[in-house]
Chains A and B, each alone.
Chain A
């Protein structure tokens, strides 16, 4: 071992980062699902959506959520970055490798880093807008009625559901809790469900705004 390595040696370092990645990932998945359900309150009518938003506002849940997101999102990005082959040379190796070995799961890793990077940008924009503008039906529907924003939200919805589903699958596979193939199927169904839920919410908001 080199001197510097010996001096900065922390045997648990990798374990902790791995745990941080997993826990933050799980929290984000849960958040995403809760988020989709909250937005789906629009299904019940404008009143319930506004009531929920008002409730969150009154009890300071909104800033709390944002703090939570900044922390968890930051942790996740930080922990995951080590995994993403960063250097150009490594990127090329992974890309070549995925093309070479024709293996579905290996491709999903490539997509995972692409969707992840895209989500960083999109989610930050989304969070910034929401935290500055606030949440109510009027604002949201006007925004969604704008074709640019509509596309933005659809892309964000699809990317985050995909990323969450693959990430969750990967965690379960790595720890070996459930059968791989049946689990993949379950997760696919769950993600499609949430995409539908989110899509319908978007559609309702869109028709309100238009």
Chain B
């Protein structure tokens, strides 16, 4: 393992250490406080009547009987909420020509997916609200549903929104070099079509929200299971016309998010209006069945590819046609085209071929919206790229490691711009590949595989390289007009007892943000970690910032905390210097003591500096003005994104009789720059890998031809279980970014980015001697049997 570069023997040296998470103790005692747990005085509960049809006109709604039920306070239709809430549109300017229809909290006039909320009931209890749903009469007339990506694009297809012209949300062509010439000079070419299944986040805590509108102050407080409280402060304010300074969004403990909890949802927007109409707090928690039909889905792509190569195995050029279906709307505020955009821009990213052309079509259909979910686009791009590399290698009889060594962007090529325009500061593909080769003992595995094949046991080894986008600058969303911040803010203060509080805009969802921020502040200020309390997730309390998306907590949030702590340290030293009649430059702060910089002799405790500053400022020399609070905002500068990289390997055994795959091992070598807490990085990787394995083998939202989700329950939609998952071995390479003093990049999505690809390559390696291969995930037993000609 390539450990942190710090001198870990110095007092308060925490960066690079596997310290435990102070806030986990509360969760371990059953004392977490999730939105689902919160109860406010006089709180009411909302439930939603949902469309049974994928596409239908709403002829009439009769709510009389429901409204008359004892315990019901309000029944609201789409028209009722449309009077309060402005429509929103999920488009951004930098995706030229993209379109999407305006959305409202509840359906008005027609419904466009099965499960879309049509009517809201607010009652004393959730059970009563649900009783009342059964009393609402809705007359509907069905329209032909658009479900298929090709059918959706036909000239005579039903238009989901006739006013948009057609069912195509966005088209993009990415072109670099001369792909025609590359194919013309190639020794060989092959083509393959890949399918990735629509799947969804399945956070263990479903979406949850409580809105509490206070008419006398014209103020709104929202307890929201969200990754991005500031983004929702802006949205609630603008869409409901409430002053931004009076909108408070509190994100307490959150039971999983994975990118799913940062989008605008109809129910969430409704609950704000319902609270305004009732004048009381209103709570809504999605039940699991509702989650399946209303949480965003992701990754519904068909990718046609062609690759040209020469006899040495060098990839010369790649052509891609990606069609992705996103549901009936593009999701606000980030849009549903980002995923496809990232797929076509990340294909081939670790490799050095220059001739590339990709066409992307983003298509509407009558299903729930897709949008950003952990590793947005990466798993698809990686699956396509890595499968192509293996397929070419197989044709030419070149080993997968050798294929990659011959094609990767090497360390002498940085800074490097990919054919699709991504700028890489410095990646470590060779070191990662070499590390993986040793970590998995590749030659031994190959020998074992050979021996077992002779006994009719089909094992496969698959590897997959990845790059991952982290630390996004405004180039991601801001430039497109999105009111989504790329900067973060931190306030660090010394309490009168000489302890420390850090209020910061990046949030905690179990990944360990509070812990790493505490490590950074303690180290850069010079105090014991136990004295640092980190506070997150409250727009009235924590400074403005982007919060949690696209792997930015450690890289951007961490740098913000580091700079704030340094600033505060200077302030502390200048007060101490005034007290000690010394100069700030002659002093240092170590372990909560002001010491001489030269000989580290202790002069005065930090607690004493704080006591004097807060309670006895009269004893300070005239003109001393203690500033024991420091604020700092930091936005990425330099490269638009800090790319990380790594490589994964998967080892499987396929049962050719049943089509079942057993995952035997999984290895990851990753480089996320400076590692702040190795244990937390590794747990992010493991959790991410398992989500990618879920996509590879189990997870798929299966729809029928009328646009109905057929497996929308946790009994029918399979997520990985403990008995199906392997132990995951991890090693690190550290290439800190030079753009920040901290040098950290993100690590939350790297696991998911490549594990599906490694798994597919492993399965195909196992199937190869049987003359079969798959190009679709999830790789269910039925699909494997079909590939084997037995289905």
Chains A and B bind each other: no
Which B residues contact A (CB, under 8 angstroms)? Answer: none
